[in-house]
A and B are shown apart, each in its own frame.
Chain A
């Protein structure tokens, strides 16, 4: 089942400002290009607690699932100043 994208957009509203900022950039630059498989992975990531997710995004905690790695690196990079991708 393809998740509702509007619902996922709302779930990118987080409890921590750090993640809000990361997801805001991601929604602007990357979200619309995700495949269905990537959307399913994103749904999993969005279910993770905020402190744990932020630690994964900033690299201070390891990523427990290999399939999440591409999304995490998108989250990390979608916002740095030179985002031409």
Chain B
């Protein structure tokens, strides 16, 4: 079979915020750059980001990057690497001002400077008082950012391959990355993209969970490709959850509903938060509310025929208040739960929101993996940025508005590193191995010829339910152990998926089968990494690692102050140290402490 081959200096997979920011760096440097994306760039999930982008501009309140760095390290529950965190916080002002120059319509103060608003976890003077650090464009920050970056890329003549799905990484005999294979959806044909450098910016994989705020495109394609190519995945046990997503749909119900007086109730109609948080009740912090909800469900007090959710009740508020203060929420509830919250309570469940782990990188955006004595040896030719990557700045828990900052800083940094590596002659176009496309073609042929196979939709649902039940927001030793067995069984089913429609052109069934191959890698990594980590830290909270005087919050720095690395082959686990040293010698490390707010 003859396969078309395209040759570029660099190929970027993914055209959300991180991919577009990286592409800009390359194209403006005059490198021949291709961006592969399965959806039109401005349909990427970055569009959904509303909160803003963090930068210590100090326009509204006094601020500096040291305070931002402290907040981020503390937010990460000390699992974040302090060199990468210093780098991100120091670069924040630069990347935000650049975006301003690209025409991003930030909200403004009367004096013309960028308006900044407060956001949870961000503080002045090392946790003393809230700070206004988030730069936003109304409630469409991600949308505005993506459009500004896309326009700038068009100007820089970045070449986009829209509606192309990358299939697999191509590595040569040295283990160096020399390109990717990809399928054009319009024809169903596979091509090779041969390049000096490959940057993955494919976003998160929140669709591994049954209840997820993520759009359907978030299938962890880059993470799955990296895992299949032998690259380990870092800290995949850490996922951020939001307490109130509409049960069965995942759409977020904002915290503001509880702020307006919304009450969480179990099957008996009891206001159960009174038992868990007698003072703050329904307004306790996200993790406390989520854990309480899961405990109610696990102990049989959940609602509905499957007892799998709780209820968010605002029926005691007047219809006028609901219509006036919460119109969007009423619409969401009617659309996705079939319930008018004026008349009946909304079914809700803790919902997966953001992937903290991913493809391991350093702050330069180089993908790193253990080799010899060095756990952070760069994989030549391979770079990653954004939610698919783990730099690691979010550690065990991400702060709001740090995700848009992450994709700007590390998208740019990955781009800069590629430019340096190519211009210095460190990266050259290495020959393609003879079997460059064989692995992808074999996967496609397997799918094409599968008989008596499994159903993609059913296997995906089994994976999502397994992840939700066994590795949700609150984790139980026994459930995790059972979960490992269960997810490996689902992974076996995923090996024999069958599609009935074999057409080549715009075959969405084939796309979904290929996406499932990526999701299942992420699901295995998450379950196995979570089962192994016998402590509570940040978003990973276990019943058998409770808050004690000896180990506050259940965190065990004596054993678990380390990054997890999961390898797809043999489901092998390895670990590497957390970097507690900032990038600059003049910057003091943020010393270990108990994370309390």
Question: A interface vs B, CB < 8 Å?
Answer: 4-7, 9-10, 13-18, 20-22, 24, 49-51, 58-60, 76, 79-81
Partner of A7, one of B48, B217, B327, B506: B506
In the bound complex, how far is the Cα of B332 from the Cα of A17, in angstroms?
Answer: 11
Q: Across the interface, name the chain B residue whose C-beta is closest to A57.
A: B335
Per-position 1/0 for B86-119, Cβ under 8 A of A:
0000000000000000000000000000000000
B186 x A7 contact (CB < 8 A): yes
A13-B515 Cα distance, complex, nearest whole Å: 13
Q: Which residues of chain B have C-beta atoms less than 8 A from A81's C-beta?
A: 338
- For B47, list chain A residues within 8 Å (CB): 15-16, 50-51
A68 to B472, CA, bound (A): 41
Q: Are the CB atoms of A16 and B506 closer together than 8 Å?
A: no
Residues from chain B with Cβ under 8 Å of A50 in the complex: 43, 47, 143
A80 to B42, CA, bound (A): 28
Cβ of A13 and Cβ of B43 under 8 Å apart? yes
- Please report the C-alpha to C-alpha distance between residue A59 and residue B323 in the assembled complex, in whole angstroms: 13
Min C-beta distance of B350 to chain A, whole Å: 16
Q: In the assembly, what is the distance between CA of A6 and CA of B502, in Å? A: 13
Distance from A17 Cβ to chain B, minimum over Cβ atoms (Å): 5
Q: Mark B35-55, 1 if CB is under 8 A from A, else 0.
A: 000010011111110000000
Specify which of A20, A59, A79 is in contact with B216 (CB 8 Å cutoff).
Answer: A20
A selection of 20 A-B contacts at a CB cut-off of 8 Å is: A5-B506, A6-B505, A10-B39, A10-B163, A10-B185, A13-B217, A14-B43, A15-B43, A16-B48, A16-B215, A17-B48, A17-B216, A17-B251, A18-B251, A18-B336, A21-B335, A50-B43, A51-B143, A58-B332, A59-B331
Closest to B505 in A: A6
B80 at the interface (CB under 8 A from A): no
Contact (Cβ within 8 A) A80 B335? yes
Q: Binary interface profile of B, 230-250, with partner A (CB < 8 Å = 1, else 0)?
A: 000000000000000000011
Q: Which residue of A lies closest to B39 (CB)?
A: A13
- B592 interfacial contact with A, CB 8 Å: no
Within 8 Å CB of B507, what residues of A?
6
Instruction: State whether A17 touches B506 (Cβ < 8 A).
Output: no
Is the Cβ of B213 less than 8 Å from the Cβ of A17? yes
Asked if residues B335 and A76 are in contact (CB atoms below 8 Å), the reply is yes
Given contacts A10-B511, A50-B47, contact A17 B215 (CB under 8 A): yes
Inter-chain pairs besides A6-B507, A49-B42, A76-B335, 20 sampled, C-beta below 8 Å: A5-B506, A6-B506, A10-B163, A14-B215, A14-B216, A15-B39, A15-B44, A15-B46, A15-B47, A16-B215, A17-B213, A17-B214, A18-B251, A20-B216, A50-B43, A50-B47, A51-B143, A60-B328, A79-B336, A81-B338
Minimum CB–CB distance from A31 to chain B (whole Å) comes to: 12
**Chain B: number of interface residues, binned into ranges:** 35 or more
CB < 8 Å neighbour of B215 from A5, A10, A20: A20
Chain A hits for B338, CB < 8 A: 80-81
Q: Which chain B residues border A79 with CB–CB below 8 Å? A: 335-336
| A58→B506 contact, CB < 8 A | no
A21 and B336 contacting across the interface, CB-CB below 8 Å: yes
How distant is the Cα of A59 from the Cα of B251 in the complex, in angstroms? 17
Q: Give, as a whole number of angstroms, the nearest-CB distance from B568 to chain A.
A: 26
Determine how close the nearest CB of chain A comes to the CB of B139; give it in whole angstroms: 9
In the complex, the answer to whether B508 meets A10 with C-beta atoms within 8 Å is yes
Q: CB distance A15 to B45 under 8 Å?
A: yes
CA distance A49 to B146 in the complex (A): 12
Q: Which residues of B contact A17 (CB under 8 A)?
A: 48, 212-216, 249-251
A residues in contact with B42, CB < 8 Å: 15, 49
Most chain A CB inside 10 Å of its own CB: which residue of B42, B332, B508? B508
Which B residues are in CB contact (< 8 Å) with A6?
Answer: 503, 505-508
Question: Taking the nearest CB of chain A, how far is it from the CB of B257, in angstroms?
Answer: 16
Task: Give residues 244-270 of B contacting A (CB, 8 Å).
Answer: 249-251
B334 located at the interface, meaning its Cβ lies under 8 Å from any Cβ of chain A in the complex: yes
The verdict on B576 contacting chain A, using a C-beta distance below 8 Å, is no
Which B residues touch A49, using CB under 8 A? 42, 143
Contact (Cβ within 8 A) A60 B331? yes
Is B66 in contact with chain A by the CB < 8 A criterion? no
**Cα distance, A79 to B46, chains bound together (Å):** 26
A residues near B249, Cβ cutoff 8 Å:
17, 21
State whether the Cβ of B140 lies closer than 8 Å to any Cβ in chain A: yes
C-alpha spacing A18/B511, complex, angstroms: 21
Question: Closest approach, in angstroms, between the C-beta of B348 and any C-beta of chain A?
Answer: 15
Chain B residues with CB under 8 Å of A14's CB are: 43, 215-216
Chain B residues within 8 Å of A58, by CB: 328, 331-332, 335
* A-side contacts of B505, CB under 8 Å: 4, 6
Task: Determine the chain A residues whose CB is within 8 A of the CB of B212 once the complex forms.
Answer: 17
- Distance from A6 Cβ to chain B, minimum over Cβ atoms (Å): 3
Most chain B beta-carbon contacts within 10 A, residue among A5, A18, A51, A60: A18
A51 to chain B, nearest CB (A): 6
With both beta carbons as reference points, the residue of chain B lying nearest to A6 in the complex is identified as B506
Question: 8 Å CB contacts to A: which residues of B471-523?
Answer: 503, 505-508, 511
Q: Which 7 interchain pairs have the tightest Cβ spacing? A: A6-B506, A81-B338, A15-B47, A58-B331, A20-B216, A7-B506, A15-B43
The contact of B508 among A9, A18, A21, A22, by CB within 8 Å, is A9
Residues of B within 8 A of A15 (CB): 39, 42-48, 215, 217
Q: Which chain B residues in 129-185 approach chain A with CB under 8 Å? A: 140, 143, 163, 185
Chain B residues within an 8 Å CB radius of A13: 39, 43, 215-217
CB distance from B123 to the nearest CB of A (A): 31
